[in-house]
Structures are given as structure tokens and as C-alpha cells.
A and B are shown apart, each in its own frame.
Chain A
Amino acid sequence: MDEHIYQQKPSQADSSSKSTQFWEGFAKGLPIMIASAPFGLLFGALAIDQGFTLFETVLMSAAIFGGASQMVGIELFGQNIPAWLIVFSIFAVNFRHVLYSAAVGRRIGHFKPLQAILSYFVLTDPQYAETEKRAESGKPVTFIWYLGVATPIYVMWVFEAFIGGLFGNLITDTHALGIDMLLPIYFLGLVMGFRSRENWGPIVIASAIASIIAAKTIGSPWHVSIGAVAGILVAVILAKPEAVKEKP
């Protein structure tokens, strides 16, 4: 990849101090932290319920840092399923990150190697969405800013596993609390955040239809990859010819 195309050149207006950038990111991370809190706590509670120790529960949140895949992992663990299949299921649920990773490389290509490793480690759905929005707004995507977004989310996510594990039996009726709808509501917000992008409507419709059909026929978690491919294909097909012309 030609990094010079994507690298943000620090201009006078962008040279805000590092602490300012950190707190700008932190402000973006806070709403994500709040929205993910119910799931962090729920994960902790369910993991203990499945026979995990408190250490294993906290370790899973700290090492994997991906809500849906952690839930799948502990659910499968309760059944008599071979270990490799559980690991593969975690991989499959997280497979969508391959696309985030490819896309976000254009935004954080200028990070130093260790910074990049840490940044890819914390590349969750909302982290990716915020990074894309930041790049779109023309502001520089610096490592300090990126860290500002990730810090509140990660620290609280790990802490919630601990708290959920300790007090999990207090959550009794997850249906009455609407837990099953919180994540879809949250992700809808992320989808809406990109509505000014080219061909957003057709992409969303194609992705929605394909993922619903795939969820009903092939089943989870493959509906994510299948739906995503359908949306991306529509974007490529609908792209204006000048947009896809090879630059001289």
C-alpha cells in the first residue's frame, strides 16, 4: 500500500496537543463504554454460570475483547464440544474484523509497529467505526487519539467481567431488560453514522436482505460474512465509472 496517499500530514491547525487528542478520543469512547456495559456484565455473569473461574472470566474479556465471540465461546463450552471447534467458532464470529483490518490500515498505516500491534488488538466494531468517521472528518487519526477511544472501552470491559462474575446472580430476567435488543439498537446507530457515504442505502438494503436470508438458511455466524459480501458487491457494482478508473 502506498502509505503516502493516506498518511495525514500534520498541519498547523491539527497540531493540537497530545493530551487534547487523547481526550477527544476518550469522549468518543465514553458512549461506547456505556453501551457495552450491559454486555460486559452479562458476559461475566454467564461465564461464571458456565463454570468458569473468576480468573478465566476476566482473562477471556482481557485477551479476546470481543463481546459476541466471548458469548459464543462460553455457550459452546457448556455443551460437549471439542476445544478446536470452540476456538474455530470464536474465529468465525470475529471473521468480520478481517474487513475492518483491511479498511483501517489506510487510516493507521503511519503508526509505529508496536503502536500498530496494540491498535489492531483493540480493533472492535465501534473502534473501527469511530476511526473511519475521524478520517472522514479530515482530522488526523493519531495513535494518541486512537488510544483515547480504546482506553475507556477496554478498561471497563475487563472490569465489567469481574463485576458481572461477582454479582452475576443479581441479573435474573434478561428478556425484561431488553438485553437481546440492546446490541442491535447500538449497531443500528453505527450504521446510521455512515449514511452520508456513497450508495449507503443500496449497500444497507443488500446487506440486510442477504444476512437475513443467510441467518435463516445457513445460520450464524456466517450470515455476517455473507451479508457483508453482498453489500460490498453492490457498492462495487454501483460505483461510478470514474471512481474505479485507474489513476495514471
Chain B
Amino acid sequence: MSSIFWIIIAGAVATFLTRVGGHLVLSRFERVHPRVEVALNAVPAAVLTTLVAPAAATADWRGLVALGFAGLVSLRFNALTMFLAGAAVIILLRQFS
């Protein structure tokens, strides 16, 4: 087997460890302290934001317009509509301006 094959397998094991590891550590405790509970409830917004903000900070104006528009759409519509609206804006702007 090639070295690529073994890198993929090792990468898969490492990835699985991150996906199961947090639970394994936390489940060793008898009960979850309320402060930890508060921290866990903050996980979605805290982590997912880091996947948006740096990209927004380095985006061109077209990217920012698309992000802003998608953000507005998300206030009223579901995630798929929001994504398609944002994608349409960025593709149109990149084609014509």
C-alpha cells in the first residue's frame, strides 16, 4: 500500500478520535457541573463562528455582499434558501462585476 493510503488511514483515526474524544472525557464525570453545561451550550455559536469570521475578514466586497445578503435571508427563511441565495449573489457578482 502506498504512503498516501497510510496517511489517509492515520488521518481517519485521528479524526475519529476528535469526534469521540470529547464525549469520552466528559463521560468520566459523574455529573456535569452547571458551568460546564453553560459552556457546552455555547459550543455551536462559538465554534461555527470561527468558520465564518476570518473568511469574512479577508473576503472581497462581493463576498461580503453575499454574506450580508445571506445573513438577512436567514432571518426569515430556512438554511437551504439562505445558502442558495448567498451562492447566487456571489456567483452573479463574480461574473458581472
Contact = CB atoms under 8 A, between A and B. Distances in A.
Name B's interface SS.
helix
Contacts of A211: 49-50, 53-54
Name A's interface SS.
helix
A49 B59 CA distance: 26
Nearest to B5: A56
A185 B86 contact: yes
A31 B78 contact: yes
Contact of B40 (A102, A120, A199, A223): A102
A83 B29 contact: no
Interface residues of A, number: 99
Interface string A222-236: 011011111110111
A231 B22 contact: no
A163 interface: no
A181 to B, nearest CB: 4
Nearest to A68: B51
A215 B57 contact: yes
Contacts of A232: 39, 42-43, 46
Contacts, number: 300
A132 interface: yes
B32 A235 contact: no
Nearest to B6: A83
Interface of A: 1-2, 30-31, 34-35, 52-53, 56, 59-60, 63-66, 69, 73, 77, 83, 86-88, 90-91, 94-106, 109, 117, 120-121, 123, 125, 128-129, 132, 175-178, 180-194, 197-200, 203-204, 206-212, 215-216, 220, 223-224, 226-232, 234-236, 239, 243-247
Per CB-CB distance, the 6 closest pairs between chain A and chain B, nearest first, are A231-B46, A101-B22, A102-B22, A235-B42, A178-B90, A227-B50
